[in-house]
Structure formats: C-alpha cells, structure tokens
Amino acid sequence: MKVLKFGGTSVGSVDNILNVKKIVEAIDEPVIVVVSAFGGVTDQLLYTSKLASQGDMSYQKELDDIMDRHLNLINDVVPAIEQSHVLQQTSTMLEELENIFRGVYLIKDLSQKTSDTIVSYGERLSSYIISFVINGSKLYDARLFIKTVKQFQKHIVDFEMTNRLIKEMFATLPKVALIPGFISSSKDTGDVTNLGRGGSDYTASILAAALNASILEIWTDVDGFMTADPKMISSAYVIDRLSFIEAMELCNFGAKVIYPPTIYPVYHKNIPILIRNTFNPDAPGTFISNEQDTGKNKATIRGISSIDNTCLVTVQGLGMVGVIGVNKRIFRALADNGISVFMVSQASSENNTTFAIKNEEADLAVRVLNEEFALERAQGEINDMVIKKDLATVAIVGEFMKNTPGIAGKLFGTLGRAGISVIACAQGASEINISFVIKKKYLRKALNSIHDSFFLSEYKMLNLFIIGVGTVGGHLLEQIEHQQQKLMKQNGVKLNVIGIADINKILMRREGLDLKTCIRDLYASGLDSSPELIIDEILQMNIFNAVFVDCTASDDIAGLYETLLNNNISVVAANKIAASSMYKKYALLKETARKRGIKFLFETNVGAGLPIINTMNDLINSGDHIFKLEAVLSGTLNYIFNTISEDIPLSRAISMAVDARYAEPDPRIDLSGTDVIRKLVILAREAGCEVEQSDVKTNLILPEKYFEGSLEDFWKQIPALDAEFEEKRKKLAVKEKRLRFVASMHDGVCQVGPVEVGSHHPFYELEGSNNIIMISTERYHDYPMVIKGYGAGAEVTAAGVFADIISIANIR
C-alpha cells in the first residue's frame, strides 16, 4: 500500500486536479491520498480572518472570492450527474464558514480556536470535492483519527492514540482512501486543530507509518528535492537520492518542499519518501531512504537551505566563565516559555552563549532571560542580553562532509570573497551540517555564491557590469556574445552581463541582458546615468561573483574602484587613469583586492591585447627580478615616425595618424608623450618600483611652444617643423637608423623620449602602429624577453579585457 500526498500547488486549478485524477487512477494497488487545501486557500482564509477581526468589511470580498473559486471548480471537475449534490453540500459548508466570519467581524475577536476552525475549511472543502473527481475514492475525516494534545501554544500529535485510531479506521482499505491533510482534533476537547503550516505532508507521513506503507510519495510542483530553493537559485538542480538525515537537516532549515516533522514517522519505520512532480510525472524525482548515495553524485555537499527569520540572542558576562549550569538555566527558561532554539554557538572561553530563535520570539526571550539572571545582572556577573534581529541562517548539508577536510574552509572562503561577514556559526560533531548566521540582506548573495562554489559542476557564473559601450565596450559585448556558448561548454564559465552604462544611460537587470539588443535597449529604456547612480545600482543589486569592467577613459569612473573593491566586486579596467594615478592610490587598490581575495586587473593599460603585465607578474612571482624595461608604447608616434618620408612631411603624418584614429583628436596628448608616461609608470610599478608620473624624465620630440596654444594654432604652426624633421630622417637613413619614441626603466629610473636605433636593434623593424617591449631580468639577461604586436585598436583591446575577465572566472 502506498500513501500519496498532493500539495496545494498540485490542486490549484482544474488542469492540476485532472492530473491528480490521472496519476491516482493509474495505480493498481490500494492507495491513501492526502490532499491539501486548493493552492493559496489557507493563506486566503488567514488573511480574510485578519480583515474580519479588524472589523474591515472588505473581508466579504475575499470570502466571496474563496466561495466562487470552490463553486466554479465543481462545475469544471465533478461529473455532471453529481454536480448538484456536491454544489449543495459545498454551499452548506461555505455558509457555515460565512457565519463564522460574520461572528468574527461583529465581535472583532479571533481566538486560536476560531482561527483553527476557519483554516480547517480549506482541506475539508478540497478533500470533499476531490473525492468526487477520483473514481472509486472514499472520503475520510482526518479529525476522527489524527489526535493532538497541547504543549505550550502548539498542538502536537498524540501518537499512541492516533496510531491506534488509524489502524482501527483502516482495518480494511478501500481502493482509494481520500483524506484531508493538515487538520486534526484535540484528544481532550474534540475541537478542530491542525498540524502547522505545510502540515499535510505530516498527515501523510503519520498515515504511512501507522499502516506500514511501502512508500510515501509527496507530489508537488518541482521535479524533486533540489540543491537549493529554485525560487532563489535558478541553477539549482534535482538531487536523485538523499538519506533521511540529509533530508531532515535540509528541511529543518527551510527547504519548504517537505514539512520538517514529516521525516520522523517514516524514518522510524524505514519507509522511503519519493518527491515527485504532479506537472511532470515522468521525472524520476528524489528518493529519500536510509541508504547513503554511493552513486556518481557522491557530492560532499548535498544541499543548501536557509531561514530568513532569525534573531541572535547573546548571554554574556565574565561571571559565566567556568560556572556550571548557566546553559542549563538559559535553555530551561526558554523551554518553559515555549521558545524554540534552532542554533547554538558557544566560545570555548565560556564567556558567552549565542543562540538563534525567530524574530517574533526575541522580546519574550530577552524578558525571560533577564528575569532568570536578575541576580547575576545586579551583581555585574552577567550583562544585559544582546539581541540582533533581521538575520538569516544558512545550512549546508551532506553526509559525505564527515571526515572531508576543507569544507568549512571553502565555505567561509567563498563567503569572504563575496564580502559577507559571518555573525555566528555552528557545526555539530556529526559533521553533517554547518550552519551560519548572516545579515538578511546578504541571503540571496550568500546562497548563490555557495551554490556556485559547491555545486555548479556545469559552469561557474560571472556577473558583469560593463561601463562604456563605445568602441572597446561595444567590441567586448560582441565578443562575449560570440563566445558565450563555447565558454559555457568548453570552459564551464557563464558570463552574464547584468548591467551596461555609458555617460548618458544606464541599464541593469539581475537576470541578465540580451546581448543582441542591449545597446539599443540601453538608449530606449535606460535611466539617466551618473557615476553615483552607477555605484548605487550596483551595490543595491548586491550580486555574487560580480565584475566591474571599465571601458571608459573617465576619471569619475576610475574614482569608483575603491568602493567597488571594498564591496568585493572585482575590477577590470581598460581605463589607465587609476593604475597611473598617485602611487598611493594604485597601491591601495591592489592591496584592497588582494586582501579581499578578488581581482583588480588592467592588462590592456599597456600594449592593448599584448600579454605584458601578466608576463611581468609571472616572472616576478616565480622569483625573477626585472631590472630594465625598454619599449615603444605609442602606436601614434611609431606610426608617425614610420610614415614620414620624402613625400609625407611631419605635419601630414600627424594628420594621417588622427584620421586613422591612432591618435587622440588632439594629437598633442600623444606627441607630448603623456600617454607613454602613464604606460611606463604602470609598467615600472608592476616591476616593483614606487614611481610617480612626475619622476619620469621626458625629452619632447617637439619644442615646448607647440603644446602651448590652441589646437588650431598647433595645426597652423606645425608645418614649420616639416623641413627639419625630413632633414633629420634623411641623415638617419644614410646611417641606416630610425627614430623611435622609447620608454625605458633602468633600475627604477624612468625616461621617455626619441631614440635613434640602428638596423640591428629590435626596435628598428616595427611596422605601423605596433608596440614592442623588451624585458631584461636576472634570467633573461643577455637576451631580453621581447613581446611585440598590435599595441592599439578597439578589437585587440576588447580581447585583452575579455582575457582579464576569464582569468577571474578561473580563480574560483
């Protein structure tokens, strides 16, 4: 014999009820079917009670809605010949309910007993109606055999009497016994009671255990027990098998898929539980039994669950140290007042005991403990109780955690990288569950980070904010779109662009933007942008594995990095401003990233897509020492020197560089070497030198006066230098030499300026706007390491930014 339970979600609509009929009628052995109230009805009954008890007339509208819903369903699901009878009986029940509500409304009072009576109608109505839908079913009244006694403010099952009554009632079984879940009655008074919210699961379990069913099937709206609540974590997936203990640990901590007390009766009788999906009956579901999973899914962590209603109470005082019996008094006082404690943590100094309870029980807990320890408080041995509300408790669960080192390390490391601080934690010696308490506002982020870190065998997720969607940012978006599928398949990395912005507009979506249309969407529906709004939106989103990608050249955007890093958001910058600003600032950003276990990367700041900074870091990290750097780092200047010829004078070469978009619109920024100085400063710093831009000795290629006036003056004056430059070039050509604008660092001394290089020098053959860098180190001494290639261009820069992003995915 089997017991099947269908939850409110499974009996929410006509189609769902017909699904249930199909599932039950296909079974060819006796079954007990337990049903919940129609989906949402329990909530609606409680809400209507509240309105009525407050004297709010709108309760009537809610009630009408409840009544209509039941009566309409009858028309759709009950066979025609029985409809009038069922409608009549149902109307009688609904009239009783209406009378109770009227009473509540008139006297504006809602006792526990009345409230229990009202909610019982949910299951009474649903089971009555469904008993006419499933062929051959016989309806039973659960109040006749599920008996409760009162303990503190709760009704708990009297198993002795309940088991006896069930056995009597079901001495012979019909083909389908249909039973309302959730409801029960008091052993002493006979009044209707219930087993608590979600209690239909428990009804089913009690029946299965009392009658030695072969299996308890819980039919709901998900494919099974999942690694986490699918409403919180979209990538949660179904766990095929769980042990009773694991299931108990998970549902005790909020995995709503099973009501926690449900496990115990069947566990005791070793009756397995199968979680199945009413809407997808072909899915295998989750099998819960006393066997440990030894199959391929032997993951150390089986699931994560959480409770957001958490308050921590701390009893503290030097007078507690070494005194026997303080904990006994704490827990006795709480128990005597019916306060349930779900997590305890005590430091080995015994100086304090912290425990977790529900927010609504906090004030009572503090009152009873203050009374309990009144004497000690008066003597200063114990301080006043400290409470922290609005917290959340998270548990990670798995039987294989036992004897596996490093789980707690990985857990807390993950939380640390996400910038989430753990307020209290507990792990029992059974090593099946590690629980910890955090601020409620971090719950979603914590669950996602942990799930990503422990479960996502399929892929790791990175959430990207891309600021600046011009040439570099635009190419980056295209490249991400192009690579997205391949990265997921081959590298197990999922890049989710959740925000883009430029100087005018900003667009953020937690679930990710459509890369095909996002730039259009940005201008169509983005908010007006500002650096303040960008940072506010990002921090508010409070999302895990976040990366801020700066494809602007903006000072204001670079000014956001410190806050971002301090909120554990990695930064990838194509923007050179931060890394080349004051040394102190650069060092602070790097240090902040290091301390927080995240990344601040700016490979493209020098040489665009060329692997310069990473290569230098690899050399240094492996114990080498860089003592000399020589490089051509300005694409513009190299282009100009390569272009000047008999036919093309300096002034023309400069305007050609502007036209080809190598140079800035004001080419003096390139000609003055400002850009090269920035790049050199970054390289020297990465090589280990503490330098500022002002430390770089600069030899200009043009006399100072050409930089002074307006841009117009510049274009007017510059042809005056044409002849001189051509003369110089010719002279050099005769000697087989060329001019290069070289940046160098030698033992910490930095300079930039024009250098004449001979035909054997590696810089002699440097085409177009290419860059080259020679790195001399202790290991690469006689023959320096040389890196050469395109040093500018949106496409290669975007590719370099992309590579930085990927390297962040790989550190997790």
The catalytic residues are 679
Which CB atom, from 157 or from 682, has the smaller least distance to Mg ion?
157
Of 202, 225, 287, 802, the one binding ligand ADP (CB under 6 A) is: 225
CA triple 394-498-557, angle to 5 deg: 110
Residue 20 neighbours by CB under 8 Å, 6+ apart: 6, 10, 11, 35, 130, 133, 134, 219, 278
- Residue 421 structure tokens: 């601080």
Please report whether residue 199 would count as binding Mg ion according to CB under 5 A.
no
Applying CB under 6 A, which of residues 43, 141, 191, 221 lies at the interface with ligand ADP?
Answer: 221
Q: Which is nearer to ligand ASP, 257 or 304 (CB)?
A: 257
Give yes or no for a contact between 682 and 606, defined as CB atoms under 8 angstroms apart.
yes
Give min distance, CB of 276 to ligand ADP, in A: 10
Is the distance from CB of 510 to CB of 492 less than 8 angstroms? Answer: no
Half-sphere exposure of 241 (CA within 13 A, CB side): 14
Looking up tokens 């010696």 gives 429
Among the residue ranges 4-12, 367-375, 761-769, 790-798, the one whose residues contact Mg ion (CB under 5 A): 4-12
DSSP letter, residue 544: S
Interface of this chain with ligand ADP, residues 166 to 185, rule: CB under 6 A: none
Q: Pick from ligand ASP, Mg ion, ligand ADP, none: which does 182 bind, CB < 5 to 8 A by kind?
A: ligand ASP
* Nearer CB in complex with ligand ADP: 169/236: 236
Nearest to 233 by CA among 447, 412, 493: 447
Question: Shortest Cβ distance from residue 198 to Mg ion (Å)?
Answer: 4
- Residue 701 touches which member of ligand ASP, ligand ADP, Mg ion, none, C-beta under 5-8 Å by kind: none
Interface of this chain with ligand ADP, residues 235 to 264, rule: CB under 6 A: 255-257
Shortest distance, CB of residue 8 to ligand ADP, whole angstroms?
Answer: 4
Stretch that binds Mg ion, among 193-201, 205-213, 472-480, 497-505 (CB under 5 A): 193-201
Can you read off the two tokens belonging to residue 635? Answer: 């694409």
Helices 59-77, 14-25: crossing angle, 10 deg rounding? 40
Query: Which of ligand ASP, Mg ion, ligand ADP, none is residue 37 near (CB under 5 to 8 Å by kind)?
Result: ligand ASP
Indicate which single residue of 7, 224, 303, 607 sits in contact with Mg ion (rule: CB under 5 A): 7
Q: Which is nearer to ligand ADP, 282 or 646 (CB)?
A: 282
Smallest gap from Cβ 206 to ligand ASP, in A, equals: 13
Is 695 in contact with 678 (CB distance < 8 Å)?
A: no
User: Binds 230, which of ligand ASP, ligand ADP, Mg ion, none (CB < 5 to 8 A, cut-off by type)?
Assistant: ligand ADP
Q: Which does 197 bind (CB under 5 to 8 A by kind): ligand ASP, Mg ion, ligand ADP, none?
A: ligand ASP
Residue closer to ligand ASP by CB (options 42, 575) is 42
Min dist. Cβ of residue 591 to ligand ASP (A) = 52
Half-sphere exposure for 82 (CA within 13 Å, toward CB): 16
In DSSP notation, 673-689 reads THHHHHHHHHHHHHTT-
- Would you state the structure tokens that stand for residue 68, as one six-digit string? 């209509």
Nearer CB in complex with Mg ion: 9/137:
9
Edge-to-edge strands, sheet with 570-573: 527-528, 505-508, 493-501, 460-467, 546-550, 570-573, 600-601
The binding site for ligand ASP (CB under 6 A) comprises 7-8, 36-37, 42, 122, 181-182, 197-201
Going by the DSSP 8-state scheme, the letter that residue 304 receives in this structure is E
For residues 664 and 657, give the distance between their C-alpha atoms in angstroms, rounded to a whole number. 9
Binding mask 34-73 toward ligand ADP (x if CB under 6 A, else -) reads --x-------------------------------------
Binding ligand ADP by CB under 6 A: which of 119, 146, 226, 564?
A: 226
Strand locations in 689-784 (E): 697-698, 737-746, 749-758, 770-777
Q: Residue 447 corresponds to which amino acid?
A: L
Nearest to ligand ASP of 9, 463 (CB atom) = 9
- The residue type of 252 is N
How many residues are listed for the chain in this entry?
812
- Give which of ligand ASP, ligand ADP, Mg ion, none residue 311 binds (C-beta under 5 to 8 Å, depending on kind): none
Euclidean distance between CA atoms 566 and 587, whole angstroms: 14
- # residues near Mg ion by CB under 5 A: 2
Looking at 3, 4, 8, 137, which residue binds ligand ADP (CB under 6 A)?
8
Q: Which is nearer to ligand ASP, 259 or 600 (CB)?
A: 259
Nearest approach in angstroms of CB 9 to Mg ion is 8
Among 198, 261, 667, 673, binds Mg ion (CB under 5 A): 198
- CB nearer to ligand ASP: pick between 251 and 434: 251
12 binds Mg ion (CB under 5 A): no
User: Rule CB under 6 A: is residue 228 a binding residue for ligand ADP?
Assistant: yes
Task: Report whether 563 contacts 535 (CB < 8 A).
Answer: yes
Instruction: Find the residue with minimal CB distance to ligand ADP.
Output: 7
Q: How far is the CB of 202 from ligand ADP (least distance, A)?
A: 11
- Cβ proximity to ligand ASP: between 157 and 415 the closer is 157
C-alpha closest to that of 543 among 229, 306, 233: 233
Contact window for ligand ADP (CB under 6 A) among 8-16, 395-403, 545-553, 643-651: 8-16
# chain residues binding ligand ADP, by CB under 6 A: 19
Token digits for 114? 């009345």
Residue with tokens 């009038």: 84
Binds ligand ADP (CB under 6 A): choice among 222, 461, 558, 772: 222
Q: Which is nearer to ligand ASP, 201 or 229 (CB)?
A: 201
Report d(CA 185, CA 178) in Å as an integer.
Answer: 18
What's the min distance (Å) between Cβ of 196 and Mg ion? Answer: 11
Interface residue with ligand ADP among 3, 4, 7, 134 (CB under 6 A) is 7
CB of 245 to ligand ADP, least distance (A): 15
Rg of the chain over Cα atoms, rounded to whole angstroms, equals 36
Write down the least CB distance from residue 303 to ligand ADP, Å: 6
Pick the closer one to Mg ion by CB: 183 or 631: 183
- Least separation in angstroms between residue 231's CB and ligand ADP is 4
DSSP helix/strand/coil, 649: coil
Cα→Cα distances 543→101, 157, 537, Å: 45, 43, 11
Strands 137-139 and 176-180: parallel
SS (HEC) of 170-219: CCCCCCEEEEECCEEEECCCCCEEECCCCCHHHHHHHHHHHCCCCEEEEE
CA gap 739, 755 in Å, rounded = 6
φ, ψ for residue 647 (rounded to 5)?
-90, -25
Q: Which positions ≥6 away from 280 have C-beta within 8 Å?
A: 223
To the nearest whole angstrom, how small is the minimum distance from the Cβ of residue 4 to ligand ADP?
12
Q: What binding mask, one character per residue, do residues 308-327 give for ligand ADP by CB under 6 A, x or -?
A: --------------------
Stretch that binds Mg ion, among 37-45, 67-75, 192-200, 773-781 (CB under 5 A): 192-200
In three-state secondary structure terms, 66 is helix
Residue 306 binds which of Mg ion, ligand ASP, ligand ADP, none (CB < 5-8 A, kind-dependent): none
β-pairing, 352-357 with 343-346? antiparallel
3-class SS of residue 282: coil
**Are 423 and 437 spatial neighbours (Cβ–Cβ below 8 Å)?**
yes
Interaction site with Mg ion (CB under 5 A): 7, 198
Interaction site with ligand ADP (CB under 6 A): 7-10, 36, 198, 220-222, 225-226, 228-231, 255-257, 303
